[in-house]
Chains A and B, each alone.
Chain A
Amino acid sequence: QKEVEQNSGPLSVPEGAIASLNCTYSDRVSQSFFWYRQYSGKSPELIMSIYSNGDKEDGRFTAQLNKASQYVSLLIRDSQPSDSATYLCAVQINYGQNFVFGPGTRLSVLP
């Protein structure tokens, strides 16, 4: 059974702070990793993809991947109230295959 785990939250941070979201996955051969944002009642919206160990930065977002620890994280710098949403970690094991989603972490950024 392929599993992706996330803390369900809610994670509350003050505006301007760094939000740190974590994800672990069970299948060691997983190749591709994604972070999606989902507002209530809406569809998942791609934030970042990461495929290699290390950090990947895109604006206020940094994804970190550690395949040896089977761990992927997302940092959001200078958090804004508009960042308040559920953040979904998704893992793809092989080319073209489906994503396995975690349950999501609900983030609340307090003004």
Chain B
Amino acid sequence: EPEVTQTPSHQVTQMGQEVILRCVPISNHLYFYWYRQILGQKVEFLVSFYNNEISEKSEIFDDQFSVERPDGSNFTLKIRSTKLEDSAMYFCASSEAGAPRTGPQHFGDGTRLSIL
């Protein structure tokens, strides 16, 4: 069964450094998402991406965040200057473009980001 893959599974970074989290969505999916989950808290939306552009973003997704689809398979989340409060599990998800609705979102295993 096709799945969303994320790398790395765990990233440890010094505060102020840049990190790039990588995702390979399911191949026939057209909608891509990033969510985060701080330990013990709920899953929070960051950004959605469709047709090579951001379609929606939350208040969390400020200027230090960016997303990119550099080729036909990868979808990346970059955090430019990490803060302690960026420590969380980051999930990538994708869904297909169905009719009359998009399909369920399928989640990758996540990247645990630890900021020191």
Q: Which residues of A contact B (CB under 8 A)?
A: 31-32, 34, 36, 42-46, 49, 51, 88, 90, 92, 95-104
- The reply to whether B42 and A104 form a contact with Cβ atoms under 8 Å apart is yes
Question: Known contacts A98-B33, A98-B48, A98-B56: does B43 contact A44 (CB below 8 Å)?
Answer: yes
A to B CB contacts below 8 Å, 27 in the list: A34-B105, A42-B110, A43-B107, A45-B107, A46-B105, A49-B104, A51-B101, A88-B42, A90-B105, A92-B102, A95-B102, A96-B31, A96-B50, A96-B55, A96-B95, A96-B97, A96-B102, A97-B48, A97-B55, A97-B56, A98-B33, A98-B45, A98-B58, A99-B33, A99-B105, A100-B45, A101-B42
Question: Known contacts A101-B43, A103-B42: does B48 contact A43 (CB below 8 Å)?
Answer: no
Q: Place the interface of chain B in its size category.
A: 20 to 34
Task: Tell me, in angstroms, the Cα distance from A100 to B35 when the chains sit together.
Answer: 10
- The reply to whether B45 and A43 form a contact with Cβ atoms under 8 Å apart is no
Q: For the complex formed, measure the closest distance between the CB of A73 and the CB atoms of chain B, giving whole angstroms.
A: 18
Residues of A near B58 (CB, < 8 A) are 98
Residues of B near A102 (CB, < 8 A) are 42
- The reply to whether A88 and B43 form a contact with Cβ atoms under 8 Å apart is yes
Q: For the complex formed, measure the closest distance between the CB of B34 and the CB atoms of chain A, giving whole angstroms.
A: 10
- Other than the given A36-B107, A43-B108, A98-B33, 4 more pairs (CB < 8 A) read A44-B107, A96-B48, A98-B48, A100-B45
Task: Tell me, in angstroms, the Cα distance from A45 to B107 when the chains sit together.
Answer: 7
B86 at the interface (CB under 8 A from A): no
Question: Known contacts A42-B109, A43-B91, A43-B109: does B45 contact A99 (CB below 8 Å)?
Answer: yes
Closest-by-CB residue of A relative to B103 is A49
- Shortest beta-carbon contacts, A-B, top 5: A98-B45, A101-B43, A43-B107, A103-B42, A96-B102
Q: For the complex formed, measure the closest distance between the CB of A64 and the CB atoms of chain B, giving whole angstroms.
A: 18
Residues of B near A103 (CB, < 8 A) are 41-42
B106 at the interface (CB under 8 A from A): yes
Closest-by-CB residue of B relative to A102 is B42
Q: Name, among A36, A92, A98, the residue most crowded by chain B CB atoms within 10 Å (CB to CB).
A: A98
Q: For the complex formed, measure the closest distance between the CB of B113 and the CB atoms of chain A, giving whole angstroms.
A: 14
